[in-house]
Structure 1
Amino acid sequence: MGGRGLGRQSTTPTLPPRLLTPIEDVRNLEGSCWAFSTIAAVEGINQIVTGELISLSEQELVDCDRSYDAGCNGGLMDYAFQFIIDNGGIDTEDYPYKGVDGECNASGVNAKVVTIDGYEDVPPFDERALKKAVAHQPVSVAIEAGGREFQLYESGVFSGECGTALDHGVIAVGYGTEHGKEYWLVRNSWGTGWGENGYIKMERNVVENFFWKRGIAMEASYPIKTSPNPKKSSEGYYSSA
C-alpha cells in the first residue's frame, strides 16, 4: 500500500489543518463518535468565522444532550447541532472527555465559549452538493464502518464496501484525485495510528450501480455560524452582551 503521508501523488483540495484540533482516539468507545463528528464541524466553522481554533467539549454532548441522543450509546449529529444552538459549546478544559456517560454539569452553562446559529442538511446522495459544502467547511457525515476492510485500512483510495447501514460519525474535510481515482478525505476518531495519520480517502462519485458504496452521502450536515461568540467578563462568565 505504501506510505501513510496525506496527499501522496494526489491533488487534494483539503481544508487547512488550522481548522482542526488534534485527532482523538475513541475507537473503544464507538458510541460517542457522533459527538466527535459534531464538535469537529463546530470547531471548524468557528475558526473560519472568528479566526480562533477552540477545542470544544465532546463530553458535554455525551452528558447533557439527552433529549434525543444517548451518550455513549449513540446519537445523531443534527440533534447535537441543535443542542449547541440552544446551549452553546464549552471549552474542553472546562469539561474534559472521560469516555463514559456522566451526570450533566449544570454549571457549564456559564462556560460556553462558542455558539452556532443553525445547521444545514446536504441533500441525500447528492455528491455534487456535498463537494460544494466540503469546499467551504468541515462537514459531518455518517458512514458504515463495521467492515473488516475499512477497519484495517492503511492508505490509498478505499474502494471496498462501505455501505448504507450507517453506524459511525466522522468528518469530511476535503476531496481530491489519486492515481485517477476520485476520493473524499475523511477524518476519523480512531487515533493517528489508523489509516493515513487518522484519515481515510474514500471513493467519490460512485456510480448508482454501486449504491452500497454511497453511504457517505446519505446523512451529511454542517453547522451555520453568523453571530459572534459570547464575551468573557472579568468574573470569568460568558454572555452575548
Structure 2
Amino acid sequence: MTVNTGRVHSWDLSTGVDGPGTRFVLFVSGCPLRCLYCANPDTWHLRDGKPTTVDEVMAEIDKYRAFVTTAGGGVTITGGEPLLQSAFTAEIFRRCKEAGLHTALDTSGFLGARADDALLADADLVLLDIKSFDIGTYRKLTGGELAPTLSFATRLDRLGVPVWIRYVLVPGWTDDETAVDALGAFLAGLRNVERVEVLPFHKLGTHKYDALGIPVPLRDTPVPDLALTERVREQFREHGLRSF
C-alpha cells in the first residue's frame, strides 16, 4: 500500500551520527516506546506531527541532494519511530532510490514486522537501536518487549541488509557486564553487523521535558565517564565486532 502523506516532526542536516557522510535527516512523528533516556519527547505522538506529502519531503531533500551526495551521505529517516508510518517511510525510500540517494532507516526494531521486504530492499543501511539485552531491563527502560527487535535483527541478517547497531550506555541501566557480553555474542552471530556504536547517555533533551511539563525520568542519572564507555566498547570488540 502506497501512502503519500505522513506526519513529520522536522528535518535537519547532520554529519557522522546518522549514517555515513552528511545526511538529510527526516524526523517523523509517533513512537510506541517510552525510553527513559529519550531526548525527543516532542516526537512521541503522531498527532503532533505536521501532515506532509512525499512530494513535499522530496522537494526539501532535492535542495540538498548535490551537497549530501558530494559529502558521501544520503537520507536517514528517524523519529519517533519510522516504522509506525511504515508505508510513508517506504514510499520516501523508494523515491530516494530512484534519485540515486543512499538511504538509512533508524529504528528500534520494535515494529520490525511492519517493514515489508520491499521497504528493506530500498534501505541501504539500518541503524538498529538495541536498548538492552536483558528482558527485564528492556521492559523497564522502554515499556516494550525485546523479542521483536531481536527477531527483526535476525531477519535483516537473513536478507543481507547492512546494520549499524546503536547502544545507548546508561549507568545503572545498560552497563551490566553480563548483559553487554550476551549482546556481543548475539551480534557476533550475525553476518551483517558492520559496527556497534556505543552512545553515551546525555541529558540534552531535558529542556524539552520541562517545556512539555513532563518529569525527566533520569534527571539524576550520571552520564557515563570515558572509562566505562571504553570498557563497554572493548567488550564488543572481544566478540570480533567493530565498536566505536
Shared fold, TM over 0.5: no
Structure with the bigger RCO (C-alpha within 8 Å, sep 6+) is: 1
Q: TM-score, normalised by structure 1?
A: 0.26
